[in-house]
Amino acid sequence: MPACDTPEITLGRLERDGLIRAESARYRTTRRWQGAMARAAYRLIQSGEENPDLRVPIAYALVEIYGIDCPDAELAALVDAILPIESAELAPGPGRPR
């Protein structure tokens, strides 16, 4: 994925790769993505990482999926695209436990 791709192209890639899905007027994460995030969080906890920045486990999860050879610019674009989706999934809302 070239670094000049638009956010829409990046979101399309995440959707094609089964990490997000369109639902109503927004994107939601998939079980595949949630599993990768759970594994990333577990590895970070085991390593003693205490950085509260959500981008860290997101980057770990993306590297697990796309591999360590994923170019930095591509990884950064993927993190930027999925960060607001993941943040919304984690935010308390109607019908969600607080």
Tokens of residue 88, six digits: 């919304």
Q: Could you tell me the pTM of the whole model? A: 0.86
pLDDT digits (tens, 9 = 90+) for 66-98: 999 999 999 999 999 999 999 999 888 765 544
Tokens of residue 21, six digits: 């899905």
Q: What is the pLDDT, as a whole number, of residue 26?
A: 93
The domain ranges of the chain are: 7-87
**Residue 97 DSSP code:** -
- The strand ranges marked E within 1-98 are 20-23, 26-29
pLDDT digits (tens, 9 = 90+) for 9-51: 999 999 999 999 999 889 999 999 999 999 999 999 999 988 8
